[in-house]
């Protein structure tokens, strides 16, 4: 269960390699985590979304040097020019942004390391293995495949399709092997810890084969862009060991102040950690073992989502299939971006992106299905009732049915989000969009408006549809916050601020105050000119 009864809802995204250019794969992880955070906030919970950047390691050192810069200055520039703007582009409401070069992170990574060293979980040893710089990870034989093209005849990393480097190192090791059984016991006792089910099975099978100790430092003779090992300054911390700790250093781990200690107690363990399936093992194996070694609880859940595929391949900058999020939002807007990726792909499975599918869904589902519904209803209230919310004069079975669909939509969507089934949540909400469109088609308010004796029935029909729009605004707010804010403004201030509307009450009928005057509603999802539809 991702929720933590009586506690805050804490959700994290992976921290992004600062060196990469943000693409829609990164944005996908962000949007999913943001939707979960906003939904729980809309339930009235103290919801906290953390994201940030992963700034140490050899890759960033090399690119900074190639750009005649120092790694910190280079990272500052990338955070300012690429990563913070990404959050604006896709409308992320994060409560914090952690950078692994910040003092609050560095000093507490050292504290954590020292603690594990003092308690015997870290020792000095030597290791030889195949290292992939792209993954920043040692690879086993099973992780390698036969190379193609330039690399034919040699083994390459299955993820990066590039050769691995044979490394022989003397450095510090974390006793990961000691956690094979404790992790298996933990998975068994917490069957929802790794989701989805297929990901869980894969991780459990991997751990059952037995874990090896993990090299967690690098000699400074090779490169020195990282956090010093506190008891041996000739070594720096392995970048993944450093990066994983962001989830606790950002919320006060290791800090002295009472306020931060309280914050840590409130937020940890995280409710759900959203990661791409390529980095699931780090989060579902190494990370919980690190926490167990330090006497801390693992997160409640790690959710491994699928990949965005472009032309059938994992979209990535290095394979030149990367699409920048603003290529989409410049034309379609951030709401459409958020909606599209959450609705078109089952969260947890791979999904293909195509401009055609995006355009088609924008037009059919957002512009026609939802946007037109809202503007037609509000326009009719202006036309037939001078913009004043009409009262209802006795609900008939068809009207009560709309109320029932609304209630079920709210309950089912809430249950789906609890299960991190984000697409199912939108499908549940869309049952109400479809119901309202059908209801209007059958009730024909424009026909009722022609005869004065039908005035009361017309009032009831428009009151019912306005109630339906109110429910939609609340349920869709975590997904398409810009459009719902506009709709809410048009619904008038008859039920208070949108932010205070709780999901749990959204399906209760009859909350709009009659007699209140509605605002005007601009087109929520305007028509997009044909030439920009197909890029
Ligand atoms: N820095 C590490 C994470 C450290 S977390 C302690 C990292 N960074 S990353 O920038 O490469 O990836 C961040 C996230 O973006 C991952 O969840 C990854 O799966 C996601 N994606 C990158 N490309 C993707 C797709 N094509 N599709 C979906 N998500 C993908 O790994």
Active site residue 56: no
Q: What pLDDT is stored for residue 386 in this prediction?
A: 97
Q: How far is the centre of ligand 1, averaged over its atoms, from the C-alpha of 325 (Å)?
A: 15
Residue nearest to atom 9 of ligand 1 (CA): 16
The string of DSSP letters for 478-497 reads: TT-HHHHHHHHHHH-SSS--
What's the pLDDT score for residue 106?
Answer: 98
From 276, 312, 337, mutation site for ligand 1 pocket: most ligand atoms within 8 A of C-beta: 276
Q: Which residues lie across from 87 on neighbouring strands? A: none
| Core vs surface per residue 467-487: b (16+ CB within 10 A) or e | bbbbbbbbbbbbbbbebbebb
Distance CA 463, CA 381 (A): 9
Whether residue 160 is annotated as binding a ligand: the answer is: yes
pLDDT at residue number 379 = 97
Q: Indicate which atom in ligand 1 lies nearest the CA of residue 243.
A: 6
How many angstroms does the Cα of residue 307 sit away from the middle of ligand 1?
9
Quick one: which of 217, 199, 10, 32 has its CA closest to 117? 217
Is the whole-model pTM more than 0.85? yes
**Cα(346)–Cα(344) distance, integer angstroms:** 7
Q: What is the DSSP string of 230-299?
A: TTEEEEEE-HHHHHHTHHHHTTTTT--SHHHHHHHHHHPSPSEEEEEGGGHHIIIIIHHHHHHHTT-PPP
CB 17 within 8 A of CB 54: yes
Strand partners, 156: 145, 163
**What b/e sequence results for 377-408 when a residue is b if at least 16 CB atoms lie within 10 Å of its CB, and e otherwise?**
bbebbbebbebbbbebeebeeebeebbebbbe
Of 132, 229, 226, 110, residue with least CA distance to 173: 229
CA distance 276 to 199: 11
pLDDT at 139: 87
Is 192 among the catalytic positions?
Answer: no
Q: Is 15 in the pocket of ligand 1 (CB under 6 A)?
A: yes
Q: 29: how many CB neighbours lie within 10 A of its CB? A: 19
Residue pair 328/24 in contact by the 8 Å Cβ criterion: yes
CA of 13 to the centre of ligand 1 (A): 9
Q: How remote is the CA of residue 14 from the centroid of ligand 1, in Å?
A: 7
Find tokens 């090299």 and name the residue: 215
Give every strand in the sheet of 214-215, ordered side by side: 137-139, 122-132, 165-174, 214-215
In 3D space, the residue among 12, 21, 8 whose CA is nearest the CA of residue 322 turns out to be 21
For residue 277, the ligand 1 atom closest to its alpha carbon is 19
Choosing from 56, 59, 105, 135, the catalytic residue is: 135
Amino acid 45: pLDDT: 97
Ligand 1 atom 21, closest CA: 25
Residue found by looking up tokens 């022989």 in the block: 168
Please classify residue 490 by burial: count the beta carbons closer than 10 Å to its beta carbon, then call 0-12 exposed, 13-18 middle and 19+ buried.
buried
For residue 15, report the distance from its CA to the centre of ligand 1, in Å: 8
Choice among 111, 220, 314, 382 that is catalytic: 314
Please state, in angstroms and rounded to a whole number, the distance separating the CA atoms of residues 266 and 484: 30
Residue 305 annotated as catalytic? no
Question: Do 399 and 392 meet the contact criterion of CB atoms below 8 Å apart?
Answer: yes
Task: Choose among 256, 284, 281: nearest CA to 270.
Answer: 284
Which residues face 171 on adjacent strands? 125
9, 11, 259, 270 from 4: Cα distances, Å: 7, 11, 21, 9
Question: What b/e string do you get for 251-282 counting C-beta neighbours within 10 Å, with b at 16 or more?
Answer: bbbbbeeeeeeebbeebbbbbbbbbbbebbbb
**Cα–ligand 1 centroid distance for 146 (angstroms):** 24
Active site residue 23: yes
- For residue 278 and ligand 1, the question of a CB distance below 6 A is answered with yes
The residue whose CA is least distant from atom 19 of ligand 1 is: 276
Decide: residue 219, CB within 10 A, 0-12 exposed, 13-18 middle, 19+ buried: middle
DSSP, collapsed to helix, strand or coil, labels residue 311 as: coil
What are the two backbone dihedrals, phi and then psi, of residue 43, each rounded to the nearest 5 degrees?
Answer: -85, 0
Strand 122-132 and strand 137-139: pairing?
Answer: antiparallel
Instruction: Exactly one of 40, 105, 139, 157 is catalytic; name it.
Output: 157
Pick the catalytic residue: 40, 56, 105, 132? 132
- Rg of the chain, C-alpha, whole Å: 26
132 marked as binding residue: yes
105 is catalytic: no
Is the CB–ligand 1 distance for residue 276 below 6 Å?
yes
218 CB burial (10 A radius; 0-12, 13-18, 19+): buried
pLDDT tens across the length of the chain (535 residues): 444 445 699 999 999 999 988 999 999 999 999 999 999 999 999 999 999 999 999 889 999 999 999 999 999 999 999 999 999 999 999 999 999 999 999 999 999 999 999 999 999 998 888 888 888 888 888 888 999 888 988 889 988 888 998 888 788 999 999 999 999 999 999 999 999 999 999 999 999 999 999 999 999 988 899 999 999 999 999 999 999 999 999 999 999 999 999 999 999 999 999 999 999 999 999 999 999 999 999 999 999 999 999 877 877 666 566 789 999 999 999 999 999 999 999 999 999 999 999 999 999 999 999 999 999 999 999 999 999 999 999 999 999 999 999 999 999 999 999 999 999 999 999 999 999 999 999 999 999 999 999 999 999 999 999 999 999 999 999 999 999 999 999 997 778 899 999 999 999 999 999 999 999 998 999 988 765 444 4
Q: Is 382 annotated as a binding residue?
A: no
CA dist 443 and 233 (Å) reads 76
Q: Which domains does the chain have, with CATH numbers?
A: 355-532 (1.10.730.10)
- Cβ of residue 314 lying under 6 Å from some atom of ligand 1: yes
């Amino acid at each position: 269960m991702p929720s933590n009864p009586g506690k805050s809802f804490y959700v994290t995204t992976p921290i992004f390699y600062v060196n990469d250019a943000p693409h829609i794969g990164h944005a996908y992880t962000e949007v999913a985590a943001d939707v979960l955070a906003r939904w729980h906030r809309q339930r009235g919970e103290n919801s906290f979304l953390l994201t940030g950047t992963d700034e140490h390691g050899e890759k960033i050192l090399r690119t900074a040097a190639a750009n005649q810069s120092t790694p910190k200055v280079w990272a500052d520039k990338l955070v300012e020019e690429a990563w913070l703007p990404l959050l604006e582009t896709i409308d992320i409401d994060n409560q914090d942004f952690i950078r692994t070069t910040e003092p609050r992170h560095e000093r507490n990574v050292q504290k954590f390391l020292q603690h594990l060293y003092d308690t015997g979980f870290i020792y000095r040893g030597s290791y030889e293995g195949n290292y992939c710089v792209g993954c920043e990870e040692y690879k086993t034989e099973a992780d390698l495949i036969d190379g193609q093209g330039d690399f034919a005849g040699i083994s390459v990393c299955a993820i990066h399709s590039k050769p691995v480097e044979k490394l022989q190192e003397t450095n510090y090791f974390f006793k990961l092997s000691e956690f094979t059984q404790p992790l298996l016991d933990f998975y068994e006792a917490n069957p929802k810890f790794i989701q989805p089910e297929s990901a869980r099975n894969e991780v459990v099978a991997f751990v059952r084969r037995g874990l090896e100790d993990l090299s967690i430092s690098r000699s400074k003779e090779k490169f020195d862009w990282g956090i010093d090992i506190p008891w041996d300054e000739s070594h720096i911390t392995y970048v993944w060991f450093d990066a994983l700790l962001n989830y606790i250093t950002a919320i006060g781990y290791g800090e002295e102040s009472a306020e931060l200690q309280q914050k840590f107690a409130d937020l940890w363990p995280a409710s759900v950690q959203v990661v791409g399936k390529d980095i699931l093992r780090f989060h579902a194996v190494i990370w919980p073992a690190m926490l167990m070694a330090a006497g801390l609880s693992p997160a409640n859940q790690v959710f491994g989502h699928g990949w965005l595929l472009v032309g059938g391949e994992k979209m990535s900058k290095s394979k030149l299939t990367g699409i920048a999020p603003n290529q989409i939002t410049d034309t379609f807007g951030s709401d459409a971006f958020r909606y599209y990726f959450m609705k078109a792909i089952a969260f947890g499975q791979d999904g293909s992106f195509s401009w055609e599918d995006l355009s088609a869904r924008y037009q059919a589902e957002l512009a026609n299905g939802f946007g037109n519904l809202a503007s037609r209803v509000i326009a009719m209230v202006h036309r037939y009732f001078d913009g004043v919310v009409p009262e209802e004069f006795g609900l008939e079975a068809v009207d009560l049915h709309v109320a029932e669909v609304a209630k079920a939509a709210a309950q089912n969507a809430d249950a789906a989000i609890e299960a991190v089934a984000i697409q199912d949540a939108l499908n549940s909400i869309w049952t109400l969009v479809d119901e309202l469109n059908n209801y209007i088609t059958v009730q024909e308010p424009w026909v009722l408006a022609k005869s004065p004796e039908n005035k009361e029935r017309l009032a009831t029909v428009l009151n019912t549809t306005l109630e339906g729009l109110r429910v939609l605004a609340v349920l869709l707010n975590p997904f398409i916050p810009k459009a719902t804010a506009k709709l809410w403004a048009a619904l008038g201030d008859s039920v208070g601020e949108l932010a205070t509307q709780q999901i749990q009450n959204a399906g209760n009928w009859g909350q709009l105050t009659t007699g209140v005057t509605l605002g005007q509603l601009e087109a929520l999802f305007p028509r997009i000119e044909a030439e920009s539809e197909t890029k």
